[in-house]
Amino acid sequence: MSERKVLNKYYPPDFDPSKIPKLKLPKDRQYVVRLMAPFNMRCKTCGEYIYKGKKFNARKETVQNETYMGLPIFRFYIKCTRCLAEITFKTDPENTDYAMEHGATRNFQAEKLIEEEEKRIQQEREEEELNNPMKVLENRTKDSKLEMEVLENLQELKELNQRQALVDFEGMIDQYREMEKREREREKEEDEREMKEMLDRALVKRLRESDSDSETEEESSSKQSNKSSSDKPTDILTADKPTEAEGASAGGAKKAKVESWERSVGTLGGKGALGSLIVRKKPVMTVSKPSSVTETAAPISQTDSKPATTDASKPVTTQNGSSSLSLLGAYSDSDSNDSE
């Protein structure tokens, strides 16, 4: 399979290159090339800085009547990025560098200036020695004196190095490392000791708190046991209740605490309790009754005449000493006899 893009051309066997006409191009013709700025420069027109490595579409031409050892010198034309002023520079094969020619000034070329100054001084010295033998002698004396100073300085440096060579740098480094190690161990021991002290203080505090808690629990349990031993379940039945007179004398004081068994069962004086068993005497009718009934009815009227003064919680007694319940039974028996 043949290549898609063929760079070579086919030349037939009868090809004669001498028949191809030659183009007559000028020697100072220009080409458009793509290049980067070889050094930092500043435009003289607007003061714009152009850094090294910035790309330009430059025009290239060969400098006429100027070569270096048979090598041609090329000139490049670029435009400022701000004011579009033309800047030119050319190659410098002698110094393997580029030389600014027109439109800008080169920056940061101190090293190059120093080298040029040294070359200039050397050329001037050679010219002076060429025509003045006394100048040659003076220059040789200065050179020898400078050489002696340099040798002395070198000898001092050698002696200094020999003195420093006796110093054991490895031993010094090992000693420094040992000191650092001891310091770290000391800090570690201090940290452990402080931590142990803190834990001991926390443990003592916890033990004290636990002891106080146990003491309070023992005191509360002893109080409860004493209270339970002193109190009996039947004490609530034998305890005296505050009378109505005491409640009235108290005025705006709070009411006595009602026990749970009183709230659930009630007292004897309540309407829904045993107080309903007491029957009041009805008005006396003209019907004659047995003497036994009349004798027993008289005390009932006495009990009915003062219902508010008696306490409902206590059983009502008659003059004969019998309870109201027995009177109720006798009254019911008399009623049954009358009906018969």
Beta bridge partners of 75: 61, 90
Q: 137 and 120 in one domain?
A: yes
pLDDT of residue 16: 93
Average pLDDT, the chain: 76
Task: Give domain status of residue 236, yes or no.
Answer: no
Contact 68, 93 (CB under 8 A): yes
Q: 158 and 99 in one domain?
A: no
pLDDT of residue 156: 92
Share of the chain above pLDDT 90, in %: 36
pLDDT of residue 85: 95
Q: Which of 108-112, 130-134, 300-304 has the highest mean pLDDT?
A: 130-134
Mean pLDDT of 115-136: 88
**Is 89 strand, coil or helix?**
strand
Residue 275 is given by DSSP the state: G
Q: 125 and 93 in one domain?
A: no
What is the number of domains present in the chain? 3
pLDDT of residue 95: 85
Question: Binning pLDDT at 50, 70 and 90, where does residue 41 land?
Answer: very high
Mean pLDDT of 245-259: 51
pLDDT of residue 230: 55
Q: 100 and 41 in one domain?
A: yes
What's the gap between Cα 13 and its chain centre? 86
Q: 155 and 180 in one domain?
A: no
Task: Give domain status of residue 220, yes or no.
Answer: no
Question: Binning pLDDT at 50, 70 and 90, where does residue 263 land?
Answer: low
Comparing 336 with 205, the larger pLDDT belongs to 205
pLDDT of residue 239: 56
Residue 130 has pLDDT above 80, yes or no: yes
Beta bridge partners of 36: 55
Mean pLDDT of 266-284: 56
Task: Give domain status of residue 310, yes or no.
Answer: no
Task: Give domain status of residue 69, yes or no.
Answer: yes
- Choose the final residue of a domain: 77, 106, 135: 106
Instruction: Give the range among 11-25, 59-73, 216-230, 269-283 with minimum mean pLDDT.
Output: 269-283
Q: 175 and 133 in one domain?
A: no
Per-residue pLDDT reduced to its tens digit, 193-236: 999 999 988 888 888 888 777 777 777 777 666 665 555 666 66
Its pTM stands at 0.36
Mean pLDDT of 317-334: 46
Domain that holds residue 140: 113-163
| Element (DSSP H or E) covering residue 138 | helix 133-165
46 is in an annotated binding site: yes
Residue 317 has pLDDT above 50, yes or no: no
80 is in an annotated binding site: yes
Comparing 45 with 223, the larger pLDDT belongs to 45
Could you tell me the two tokens for 193?
């000791």
Mean pLDDT of 147-164: 89
Task: Give domain status of residue 131, yes or no.
Answer: yes
Cα angle at 280 between 278 and 284, to 5 degrees?
150
206 is in an annotated binding site: no
Q: 159 and 182 in one domain?
A: no
Q: 146 and 192 in one domain?
A: no
pLDDT of residue 225: 65
User: What values do phi and psi take at 129, rounded to 5?
Assistant: -70, -25
Q: 96 and 47 in one domain?
A: yes
- AA letter at 152: E
Instruction: Give the range among 5-19, 27-41, 225-239 with minimum mean pLDDT.
Output: 225-239
35 is in an annotated binding site: no
Give a three-class secondary structure readout of 242-265.
Answer: CCHHHHHHHCCCCCCCCCHHHHHH
Q: 182 and 119 in one domain?
A: no
Share of the chain above pLDDT 70, in %: 64
Q: 73 and 34 in one domain?
A: yes
Q: Strands 104-106, 31-36: parallel, antiparallel or unpaired by DSSP?
A: unpaired
pLDDT of residue 89: 96
Closest by CA to 297, choosing from 277, 276, 280, 275, is 280
Q: Which of 13-22, 107-116, 231-240, 279-288 has the highest mean pLDDT?
A: 13-22
Comparing 27 with 317, the larger pLDDT belongs to 27
Task: Give domain status of residue 307, yes or no.
Answer: no
CA distance 209 to 146: 90
Residue 34 has pLDDT above 50, yes or no: yes
For 26-46, give one letter per residue: b (16+ CB within 10 A) or e: eeeeeeeeeeebbbbbebeee
pLDDT of residue 257: 62
Q: 122 and 88 in one domain?
A: no
Residue 308 has pLDDT above 50, yes or no: no
Task: Give domain status of residue 100, yes or no.
Answer: yes
Beta bridge partners of 323: 317
Question: Binning pLDDT at 50, 70 and 90, where does residue 324 land?
Answer: very low
pLDDT of residue 235: 62
User: Which of left, alpha, beta for 71 (phi over 0: left; psi -120 to 50: alpha)?
Assistant: beta
CA distance 144 to 9: 71
Task: Give domain status of residue 68, yes or no.
Answer: yes
